[in-house]
């Protein structure tokens, strides 16, 4: 077997799965690009505590299937490894690619700047909302095919269940490390996170049904609604 010429750190750096190396005191020694993105949704201590809890009892590695989520990041497994007493590493594995089993009918869909459409819905909502609304978005998001009327209807339903919250935070990004399969083609996922202090959860079923009918994945937590939208182009 020949000696490899490549620095393996190069491959880890651009791995879609987050990788973090800690020292024995819980300080980060190294993290790849995906882990840098993850740090916006969790703390180093949270990951270090998880690494210690699932670490092998002796030098080596231990893989564990685990349902783990931090904000919009979701993982199905972790691998914790160490070869000395000074450093420990954790590798988190993104949940598998999402697939829409139905063939999408694009009748009524049009190529849309999702930010412009969403901001129009925000302006309408602000006319009846007296709380604070914060929007963080990537203005470089690609245009995508979407049913504009149905999407606006879905957004209005989400806003309705949050209208009594004193603050609403919205984050719009491309989901890192995942693609969605639509009509046998792979597309990026645009993620909408709606975070609030309190919301009317009795509307979750209606929102889920509307989203599903429009090929959008909807996820619900106590104070958050997430939409995963295929960036069909």
Domain locations along the chain: 9-94, 99-230
CA 50 to chain CA mean position, Å? 20
CA separation for the pair 62, 164 (Å, rounded): 46
152: its two tokens: 């606006």
Share of the chain above pLDDT 90, in %: 56
Q: Do domains 9-94 and 99-230 have the same CATH topology?
A: no
* pTM for the model: 0.63
Report the distance separating Cα 38 and Cα 118, nearest Å: 25
Q: What pLDDT is recorded for position 47?
A: 96
Q: Does domain 99-230 have CATH number 3.30.420.40?
A: no
The correct CATH number of 9-94 out of 3.30.450.20, 3.90.660.10, 3.30.300.30, 3.40.1190.20 is 3.30.450.20
At residue 215, the 3 state secondary structure works out as coil
- Examine the pLDDT at 62 and tell me if it is beyond 90: yes
Model pLDDT, residue 177: 61
User: Mean pLDDT, to the nearest integer, of 111-138?
Assistant: 94
Task: Give residue-wise pLDDT tens across range 173-215.
Answer: 887 667 777 777 888 889 898 999 989 999 899 999 999 888 8
């Amino acid at each position: 077997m020949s000696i490899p010429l490549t620095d393996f750190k190069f491959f880890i750096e651009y791995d879609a799965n987050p990788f973090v190396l800690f020292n024995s005191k819980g300080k980060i020694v190294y993290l790849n690009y995906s882990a840098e993105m993850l740090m916006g949704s969790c703390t180093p201590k949270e990951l270090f505590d998880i690494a210690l809890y699932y670490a092998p009892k002796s030098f080596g590695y231990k893989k564990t299937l685990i349902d783990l989520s931090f904000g919009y990041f979701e993982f199905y497994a972790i691998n914790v490894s160490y070869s000395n007493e000074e450093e420990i590493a954790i590798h988190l594995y993104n949940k598998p690619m999402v697939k829409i089993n139905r063939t999408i009918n694009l009748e009524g869909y049009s190529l849309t700047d999702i930010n412009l459409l969403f901001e129009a819905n925000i302006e309408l909502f602000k006319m009846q909302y007296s709380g604070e609304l914060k929007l963080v978005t990537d203005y470089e998001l690609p245009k995508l095919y979407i049913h504009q009327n149905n999407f606006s209807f879905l957004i209005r339903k989400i806003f309705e269940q949050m209208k009594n919250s004193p603050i609403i935070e919205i984050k719009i990004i491309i989901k890192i490390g995942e693609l969605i399969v639509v009509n046998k083609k792979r597309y990026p996922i645009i993620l909408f996170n709606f975070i609030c202090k309190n919301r009317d959860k009795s509307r979750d079923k209606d929102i889920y049904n509307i989203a599903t009918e429009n090929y959008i994945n909807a996820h619900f937590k106590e104070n958050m609604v997430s939409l995963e939208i295929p960036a069909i182009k």
